[in-house]
Amino acid sequence: MSDFRDIYADVNHARAYHQLVSCEDYQGHLGQYIRSHADLSQSRVLDMGCGTGRVAALMVEHCRTLTVCDGAAAMLTVAREQLPATVRFDEADNTHLPYADDSFDLVTAGWSFGHATEWLPGIWQDNVRAAVREMLRVLAPGGVAIIFETLGSGVSEPAPPNQNLQACYELFEHEFGFVCTPLVTDYRFVSAAEAARLTEFFFGVAMQSVVQSDGSAVVPEWTGAWQVRRTRV
């Protein structure tokens, strides 16, 4: 894909994207991380920028209630195909959530806030700040907010892929007090050929060449998990 925004505008592209992300984190570290920071059985959960439901699927069978939102109708279409009817689906921008203050005990956002660094040059900081403020506004006292963002694909060590994302992650930490834990979230595909096809679709030809040179059905992936707990009043 030449522009990630194409994926969010087209249902067929969104389905191909879901096929890719369904292969991510075969070790199960994302779900383990969420469960280690929140009692899902007691939690009203919101997943912001839910995409095709990748993170929501890790929580839906365990939480008290689950609401998901995304600004892209195509993504929500695919999310509805993946998640049960008990989930509430809303089309909403991260910076303007249609929920009351203190509505959720756990709020997650997976690989959503960081897109602003590419899509909104020059003003992305304002967009990210607004999204994080909304995340914390709808979070109940004592609740937990978790942001997942990339720390590199096809690389051996975790690091922000570019300067803008590094600045974004520093914003999470320095302005809002989030603490980062790097997680190994490797992709595992059915074959090396499938790995090359699906990673080229999303990451481009450069990633395809990395996968083909390795010849493995497993592609290294690092995810940063940023977490903060809202102080009880």
Instruction: Tell me the domain boundaries of the chain.
Output: 5-228
pLDDT band at 164 (very low <50, low <70, confident <90, very high): very high
Tens-digit pLDDT profile for residues 105-163: 999 999 999 999 999 999 999 999 999 999 999 999 999 999 999 999 989 999 999 99
Residue 220 confidence (pLDDT): 93
| pLDDT (0 to 100) of residue 2 | 44
Number of other residues whose CB lies within 10 A of the CB of residue 229 = 15
Q: What is the DSSP letter of 208?
A: H
| pLDDT higher than threshold 60 for residue 45 | yes
pLDDT digits (tens, 9 = 90+) for 171-212: 999 999 999 999 999 999 999 888 888 888 788 776 766 676
What integer is the mean pLDDT of 207-224?
Answer: 81
Task: Report yes or no on whether pTM surpasses 0.85.
Answer: yes
Give ∠ CA 156-160-162 in degrees, rounded to 5. Answer: 115
Q: What is the rounded distance in angstroms from the CA atom of residue 50 to the CA atom of residue 75?
A: 8
Query: Is the distance from CB of 86 to CB of 25 less than 8 angstroms?
Result: no
**86-108 per-position pLDDT tens digit:** 999 999 999 999 999 999 999 99
| CA dist., res. 49 & res. 62, Å (int) | 20
Indicate the DSSP class of residue 114.
G
Q: What CATH architecture is 5-228?
A: 3-Layer(aba) Sandwich (3.40)
